[in-house]
């Protein structure tokens, strides 16, 4: 069962607890008790922490419902000090578990501080001891009666008995025996729980409740031992002023030491950042003026390049006729382009020029071959 099922069970439990104690009958008492038992089963098997708000609401509602059940049991007079277990009705035996359930729920309460936790533990101790005393009066303690009797006699115990109760080896052996016995009782409880729905299985139902009572006697004994240690710790914390549940004070924020900035560039990086946004170096007017001058310069270069390309496509004669003077470099480029295209005139002109250079070696035109 999940927390969603717990919501429906809580709703039905609240409805059952609306009436007063005098108005409600034994049948309604049974319904309230069974609903609380179901809620306890959901809480024990739920993966949510017991400090969760939904779990805490269920715990508080169960405590109030079980306290009401206790008052109804007293009003109906279901138990008496001069009775034995054999004289108890099978339908009334389950109400012996009321103090054990109340003690268990009080241990699940979320404390506000150390004092609140100590109060909850002390209340749980009262309920567990009342449960053990009631079972002892009805002679339902079985094999653990001697150990349970020691719980009430611990204040009057001698030093030898106290030392034996704190003997690690003895305590370890007792824990192992309790664990094994509890395991056997839990298996037996699961087996007998199948007979709860049958009306003709009163013996099995009675045996089921006896098994449940003995199991909770073991749980009560374990919780009482654990609570003694917890109470010592809580009392010690109260005496020393140490409170586990007090709020941790938040440490004030400490401003980190700023590094020393040496260079102007480092100061600029600290102010304007390492990347975007970068340092502003131009106004908007300066930026557009630079862009305008750059575009003018690019247009001039494009016009010159266009003229140069047009000049490359003309011959020397066309250039001369058009009045355009070509530079030496432009002439050489034009000649090479014509030769590459195998132009007949350019090839004839080149051969004529080579022949003339062969017939007129360098320096031949000087006077007396001097120069």
Return the HEC string of 99-147: HHHHHHHHHHCCCCCHHHHHHHHHHHHHHHHHHHHHHHHCCCCHHHHHH
Distance (Å, whole) CA 121 – CA 234: 10
Task: For residues 149-160, give the mean pLDDT.
Answer: 52
Higher pLDDT, 5 or 129: 129
Higher pLDDT, 41 or 244: 41
Lowest mean pLDDT among 39-43, 60-64, 194-198: 194-198
Question: Is 50 exceeded by the pLDDT of residue 273?
Answer: yes
Task: For residues 258-281, give the mean pLDDT.
Answer: 60
- pLDDT at res. 158: 45
User: 121 — phi, psi (to 5°)?
Assistant: -65, -40
Q: Which helix (H) or strand (E) holds 189?
A: helix 168-192
Residue 369, Ramachandran bin (φ over 0: left; ψ between -120 and 50: alpha; else beta):
left
Most confident of 191-195, 255-259, 313-317: 191-195
- pLDDT at res. 250: 63
What six digits make up the tokens of 162?
Answer: 């106290």
Distance (Å, whole) CA 180 – CA 173: 11
Q: Roughly how many angstroms between the first and final C-alpha of the chain, as a whole number?
A: 122
| Contact criterion met (CB below 8 Å) for 82 and 96 | no
CA separation, residue 341 to residues 120, 308, 347 (Å): 111, 19, 10
- Residue 60 sits at the vertex; the CA angle it makes with 111 and 132, to the nearest 5 degrees, is 85
Residue 26, Ramachandran bin (φ over 0: left; ψ between -120 and 50: alpha; else beta):
alpha
- pLDDT at res. 128: 93
Q: Which helix (H) or strand (E) holds 164?
A: helix 159-165
What six digits make up the tokens of 12?
Answer: 């039905």
Question: Is 70 exceeded by the pLDDT of residue 270?
Answer: no
Residues 341-364: tens digit of each pLDDT: 777 888 888 888 888 888 887 766
Lowest mean pLDDT among 205-209, 228-232, 283-287, 337-341: 337-341
Question: Is 90 exceeded by the pLDDT of residue 293?
Answer: yes
Mean residue pLDDT across the chain:
77
- pLDDT at res. 348: 85
DSSP string for 238-263: HHHT--TTSPPPPPPPPPPPPPPP-S
- pLDDT at res. 159: 47
The closest alpha carbon to 93, from 218, 203, 223, 221, belongs to 203
- Residue 203 sits at the vertex; the CA angle it makes with 36 and 33, to the nearest 5 degrees, is 10
Question: Is 90 exceeded by the pLDDT of residue 277?
Answer: no
Task: For residues 112-137, give the mean pLDDT.
Answer: 88
Task: For residues 240-257, give the mean pLDDT.
Answer: 62
- pLDDT at res. 113: 73
- pLDDT at res. 103: 92
At a CB cut-off of 8 Å and minimum separation 6, what does 225 contact?
none
| Contact criterion met (CB below 8 Å) for 178 and 222 | yes
Task: For residues 153-182, give the mean pLDDT.
Answer: 70
Task: For residues 91-114, give the mean pLDDT.
Answer: 88
- Write down the pTM of the prediction: 0.59
Question: Is 70 exceeded by the pLDDT of residue 19?
Answer: no
Task: For residues 264-273, give the mean pLDDT.
Answer: 62
Residues 189-203: tens digit of each pLDDT: 888 888 777 767 788
- pLDDT at res. 104: 92
């Amino acid at each position: 069962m999940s927390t969603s099922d717990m919501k429906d069970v809580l709703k039905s439990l609240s409805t059952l607890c609306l009436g007063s104690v005098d108005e409600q009958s034994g049948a309604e008492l049974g319904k309230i008790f069974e609903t609380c038992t179901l809620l306890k089963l959901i809480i024990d098997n739920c993966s949510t922490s017991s400090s969760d708000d939904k779990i805490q609401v269920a715990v508080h509602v169960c405590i109030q419902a079980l306290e009401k059940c206790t008052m109804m049991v007293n009003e109906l007079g279901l138990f008496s000090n001069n009775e034995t277990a054999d004289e108890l009705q099978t339908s009334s035996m389950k109400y012996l578990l009321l103090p054990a359930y109340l003690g268990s729920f009080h241990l699940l309460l979320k404390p506000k501080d150390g004092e609140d936790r100590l109060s909850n533990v002390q209340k749980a101790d009262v309920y567990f001891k009342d449960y053990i005393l009631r079972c002892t009066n009805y002679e339902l303690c079985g094999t653990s009666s001697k150990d349970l009797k020691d719980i009430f006699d611990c204040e009057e115990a001698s030093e030898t008995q106290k030392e034996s109760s704190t003997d690690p080896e003895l305590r370890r052996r007792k824990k192992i025996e309790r664990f094994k016995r509890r395991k056997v009782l839990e298996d037996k409880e699961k087996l007998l729980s199948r007979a709860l729905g049958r009306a003709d299985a009163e013996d099995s139902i009675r045996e089921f409740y006896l098994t449940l009572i003995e199991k909770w006697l073991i749980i009560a004994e374990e919780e009482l031992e654990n609570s003694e240690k917890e109470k010592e710790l809580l009392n010690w914390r109260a005496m020393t002023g140490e409170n586990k549940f007090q709020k941790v004070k938040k440490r004030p924020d400490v401003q980190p030491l700023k590094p020393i900035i040496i260079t102007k560039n480092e100061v600029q990086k600290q102010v304007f950042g390492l990347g975007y946004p970068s340092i502003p170096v131009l106004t908007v007017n300066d930026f557009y003026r630079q862009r305008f001058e750059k575009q003018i310069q690019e247009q001039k270069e494009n016009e010159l390049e266009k003229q140069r390309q047009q000049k490359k496509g003309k011959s020397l004669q066309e250039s001369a006729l058009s009045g355009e003077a070509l530079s030496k470099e432009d002439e050489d480029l034009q000649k090479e382009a014509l030769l590459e295209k195998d132009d007949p005139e350019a090839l004839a002109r080149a051969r004529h020029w080579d022949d003339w250079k062969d017939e007129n070696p360098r320096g031949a035109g000087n006077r007396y071959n001097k120069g």
